[in-house]
Chain A
Amino acid sequence: MAADNSTTAMQTDSRDWADRWRHINKILDRRGPFCDNSFREGYENTLLPQCKVLVIGAGGLGCEILKNLALSGFKDIHVIDMDTIDVSNLNRQFLFRPSDVGRPKAIVAAEFVKNRVAGVVVTPYHGKIQDKDDDYYKQFQIVICGLDSVEARRWMNATIVNLSQELGEAIPIIDGGTEGFKGQARVIIPTVTSCYECSLDMLNKPTTFPICTIANTPRLPEHCIEWAYVLEWPKVFKNEKLDTDDPKHIQWVFEAALERARQFKIAGITYSLTQGVVKNIIPAIASTNAIIAAACCNEAFKIATTSAPYLDNYMMYTGNEGVYTYTFQHQKKPDCPVCGENSVNVDVNKNWTVEEFIEWLKEKPDAQLKKPSLMTADNKKIYLQAPPILERSTRPNLEKKLSSLIEDGDTIIVTDSTLPFSLQLVVSLI
Chain B
Amino acid sequence: MLKIWSIKKDNAQAEKKKPKVSAAQIRVQKDLTELELPSTMEMSFPDESDLLNFNLSIEPDEGFYKGGVFRFTFNINNNYPHEPPKVRGIQKIYHPNIDLDGNVCLNILREDWKPVLNLNSVIVGLQYLFLEPNAEDPLHKDAAEDLRTNRKSFEYNVKQSMRGRDVKGNYYDNVMAKN
Q: Per a CB cutoff under 8 Å, which of A151, A162, A386 touches B78?
A: A151
Q: How far is the CA of A208 from the CA of B44 in the complex (A)?
A: 30
Residues of A within 8 A of B25 (CB): 379
Instruction: Output the nearest chain B residue to A410 by Cβ-Cβ distance.
Output: B19
A142 to B: closest C-beta gap in Å:
10
Given A197-B23, A337-B26, answer yes or no on A166-B14 (Cβ-Cβ < 8 Å): yes
Q: Per a CB cutoff under 8 Å, which of A150, A169, A208 touches B111?
A: A208
Given A191-B7, A205-B113, A389-B44, answer yes or no on A377-B37 (Cβ-Cβ < 8 Å): no
Residues of B within 8 A of A419 (CB): 30
Size class of the contact patch on chain B: 35 or more
Can you list, as one digit per residue, whether each of B3-32 has a CB less than 8 Å from chain A (1) or not (0)?
111110101111111111111011101101
Indicate if B43 sits at the interface (CB-CB under 8 A): yes
Q: How far is the CA of A158 from the CA of B79 in the complex (A)?
A: 13
Which B residues between 114 and 164 are near A, CB-CB below 8 angstroms?
114-116, 137-139, 141
A385/B23 in contact, CB under 8 A: no
B18/A166 in contact, CB under 8 A: yes
Residues of B within 8 A of A306 (CB): 2
A208/B110 in contact, CB under 8 A: yes
Q: How far is the CA of A421 from the CA of B26 in the complex (A)?
A: 8
Residues of B within 8 A of A273 (CB): none
Q: Per a CB cutoff under 8 Å, which of A208, A303, A343 touches B18?
A: A343
B103/A231 in contact, CB under 8 A: yes
B79/A303 in contact, CB under 8 A: no
Quick check: which of A97-105, A209-217, A245-253, A317-325 contacts chain B, the rest being far away? A209-217
Can you list, as one digit per residue, whether each of A373-403 has a CB less than 8 Å from chain B (1) or not (0)?
1010111110011111110010000000000
Instruction: Output the nearest chain A residue to B79 by Cβ-Cβ distance.
Output: A151
Indicate if A203 sits at the interface (CB-CB under 8 A): yes
A415/B29 in contact, CB under 8 A: yes
Which A residues between 402 and 430 are near B, CB-CB below 8 angstroms?
409, 411, 413, 415, 417, 419, 421-422, 424, 426
Residues of B within 8 A of A231 (CB): 99, 101, 103
Q: How far is the CA of A387 from the CA of B39 in the complex (A)?
A: 11
Indicate if A190 sits at the interface (CB-CB under 8 A): yes
A387/B2 in contact, CB under 8 A: no
Known: A205-B83, A380-B49. 19 other contacts (CB 8 A): A141-B5, A151-B82, A158-B22, A162-B20, A166-B18, A168-B9, A208-B110, A210-B110, A212-B138, A303-B4, A343-B13, A343-B18, A371-B33, A384-B33, A386-B35, A386-B36, A389-B44, A413-B19, A413-B21
A-B contact pairs, 17 of them (CB 8 A): A36-B2, A38-B2, A150-B79, A164-B7, A168-B15, A189-B4, A201-B115, A208-B111, A210-B111, A216-B139, A343-B16, A373-B29, A389-B43, A390-B45, A411-B16, A413-B29, A424-B18
B102 to A: closest C-beta gap in Å:
9
B79/A154 in contact, CB under 8 A: yes
Indicate if B40 sits at the interface (CB-CB under 8 A): no
Residues of B within 8 A of A150 (CB): 79, 82
A345/B16 in contact, CB under 8 A: yes
A338/B45 in contact, CB under 8 A: no
A203/B82 in contact, CB under 8 A: yes
Can you list, as one digit per residue, whether each of B82-117 has a CB less than 8 Å from chain A (1) or not (0)?
110000000000000101010111010111011110
B33/A386 in contact, CB under 8 A: yes
Residues of chain B having any CB pair with chain A under 8 Å: 1-7, 9, 11-23, 25-27, 29-30, 32-37, 42-45, 48-49, 51, 78-79, 82-83, 97, 99, 101, 103-105, 107, 109-111, 113-116, 137-139, 141
A105 to B: closest C-beta gap in Å:
23
Residues of A within 8 A of B114 (CB): 205
Q: How far is the CA of A192 from the CA of B10 in the complex (A)?
A: 13
Q: Per a CB cutoff under 8 Å, which of B11, B35, B116 touches A345?
A: B11
Residues of A within 8 A of B34 (CB): 386, 415, 417
B85 to A: closest C-beta gap in Å:
14
Q: How far is the CA of A165 from the CA of B35 in the complex (A)?
A: 32
Indicate if A170 sits at the interface (CB-CB under 8 A): yes
Indicate if A241 sits at the interface (CB-CB under 8 A): no
Instruction: Output the nearest chain B residue to A234 by Cβ-Cβ distance.
Output: B101
Instruction: Output the nearest chain A residue to B123 by Cβ-Cβ distance.
Output: A387
Indicate if A200 sits at the interface (CB-CB under 8 A): yes
Indicate if A221 sits at the interface (CB-CB under 8 A): no
B116/A201 in contact, CB under 8 A: yes
B23/A154 in contact, CB under 8 A: yes
A228 to B: closest C-beta gap in Å:
14
Residues of A within 8 A of B15 (CB): 166, 168
A87 to B: closest C-beta gap in Å:
29
B4/A386 in contact, CB under 8 A: no
B4/A426 in contact, CB under 8 A: no
Residues of B within 8 A of A189 (CB): 4
